[in-house]
Structure 1
């Protein structure tokens, strides 16, 4: 039996959506660069876009079947009617997690066809089902098998959302194009799509300098209210917790609008050099506070998409357990 309860999920929601700008700044590296964990680079022709032809046949069939099974839950209203409710807020690179508490309490008895979370993001002005997720609590070195055979699939975990000695293991599955493949912890295309800007060519992720630009631009596009208000209080993405926080943002300046248009045009033209120039101009126009926020978000969310073993290997302190937070 899982240790999760509605109270714990409420605590998770509060924890995730109330991280202050001060806390985020602590994740900003002293050298001025984020120390975010980045997902592996994937084959941009076979593993960046559904139907994920580079996956093993069994995985492709499972993902196609899963998406078909969830087709009737493709709107937030349908998801709520089926017992899924938004608890995490609109998280950059992930969207909004809709959690089914009944499924979440099944413990380690996972079913690939029955995820306990749905992921929604605003695309083309509409909240759309963009993925699903599986979660369970166990010791960090879990022996629970992954629901997919691909080497790209791996558990990431959150010790801060479990009791001492345990951690919350999770796996994301994407139904839409993803910057780092079908099981990426963070999908850097989502902020572009929410902002109505064409995503860059996925093959550009192969070069780290370009990938860093793509990540920086992505999180610079995230509206401030998506993560936290200036005073550090939670900033809901909409009145019901759904995606689409851009509706709450101040309109960009004329110069900033032109920069965004240049990014969009270069991506549509598949012009890498023009996109790099547009990205560099956009990043150079960010204020110091905006840059700090972008790097901090990349650091905080990146390290949270690692496993405990990966954090240990990288010398990153593990987040405190839920019981420690409640003391």
Structure 2
């Protein structure tokens, strides 16, 4: 239980819900080295049923999703012993943790993940994935539950006693910007904000991928859809793009138009129009928003790396937060 509680405290902070802007600015350097996810085939590894996976993995993911289908609402998840513990983390959603399974150690079962991932899509909290976790030495010999080279443990030393680390793996049941086992799914903030996700093939170009990631995390404060904004020339039409607003005051009319342009370009699969809309939106971010986006990318990206990857990149390992 102490491990889960420490996870809660860190993740809320990492998600930017408690950290000041000054703390985020310190993560800018880490952003340049952080693990933003592998580039995957946009034709068979960006969307379920993940046809690019080995047959055994593809079948296992499909079977897992089917087995968990009855837990596709927060209420059903809670009734089955999964409880929200980590807050709404950009690119991950809300982790619902089964505390009993989380204490089983290295005895993993691919059919019984200890965490469920929920995100708000179309105004409803939906089951979007699952996760496995266990504590061990950084160079663990615990086998991955999937055979694909895309599957790899990332780890969190700050959630374990000295000399150990908390290893984790996500598996997605919904389209994912960086494949079925990505640590961060940059499509989630778009879907939560009601903005059409860009063409996944655009992730292959690093400049486009960087735009996609920055827009994604810039949308994080834009957390609920409140109205339809006009995508057509007819000002009386309300079909199509979903406008989104902050919980407090909402975006300006100009910002709302930018969001509509992003949505329309993605729906039209118009790359040049989307790049233009994204560049305009990013340029419109104020200093606080830029610091927050860069900080989120740095902190969360670094935490999706393994200890070995952080060492190779020259990134300091997070210190243990356990006091046993």
The normalised TM-score by structure 1 is: 0.89
Aligned to 2:227: none
Q: Is contact 2:189-2:219 (8 Å) kept?
A: yes
Q: By how many angstroms is 1:225 displaced?
A: 8.6
Given the superposition, is the C-alpha separation of residues 135 and 249 from structure 1 closer, same or farther in structure 2, using an over 3 Å criterion? farther
Which consecutive unaligned segments of at least 5 residues does structure 1 have? 227-244
Deviation at 1:91, TM superposition (A): 0.3
Cα distance in structure 1, aligned partners of 2:190 and 2:218? 10
User: How do 1:64-79 and structure 2 match up within 5 A?
Assistant: 64-79=62-77
Show CA shifts across 1:118-146 (max 9, x none): 00000000000000000000000000000
State how far apart, in whole Å, the 1-side matches of 2:127 and 2:245 are: 18
Gaps of 5+ in 2: 225-243
Matches within 5 A, 1:171-320: 171-223=169-221, 248-320=247-319
Q: Does the CA-based 8 Å contact 1:223-1:249 persist in structure 2?
A: no
Distance change in 2, residues 1:35/1:294 (3 Å):
farther
2:6 aligned residue = 11
Q: Structure 2: how far apart are the matches of 1:303 and 1:217?
A: 19
The SS at the match of 2:265 is helix
Q: Residue 79 of structure 1 contacts residue 98 of structure 1 at CA under 8 Å; is this kept in 2?
A: yes
Contact 1:27 1:34 in 2 (8 A): no
CA–CA distance in structure 2, aligned partners of residues 246 and 259 of structure 1: 12
1:253-287 Cα shifts (integer Å, max 9, x gaps): 10000000000000000000000000000000000
**CA shift at 1:14, angstroms?**
1.7
- Equivalent-residue separation in structure 2 for 1:25 and 1:153 (angstroms): 31
1:120-179 Cα shifts (integer Å, max 9, x gaps): 000000000000000000000000000000000000000000000000000000000000
Structure 2 equivalent of residue 43 of structure 1: 41
Which residue of structure 1 lines up, in the alignment, with residue 234 of structure 2? none
Aligned twin of 2:29: 29
1:94-105 correspondence runs (5 A): 94-105=92-103
- Mapped to 1, the partners of 2:292 and 2:316 lie a distance apart of 21
For 1:194-251, what per-residue CA distance to the aligned partner results, in whole angstroms no more than 9, with x for missing partners? 000000000000000000000000000001899xxxxxxxxxxxxxxxxxx9773531
Counterpart CA distance in 2 for 1:136 and 1:279 is 39
Deviations 1:72-119 (A, max 9, x none): 100000000111011110000000000000001111010000000000
Q: Distance in 2 between matches of 1:195 and 1:144?
A: 38
| Comparing 13-22 and 112-121, the one that deviates more | 13-22
1:41 counterpart SS class? coil
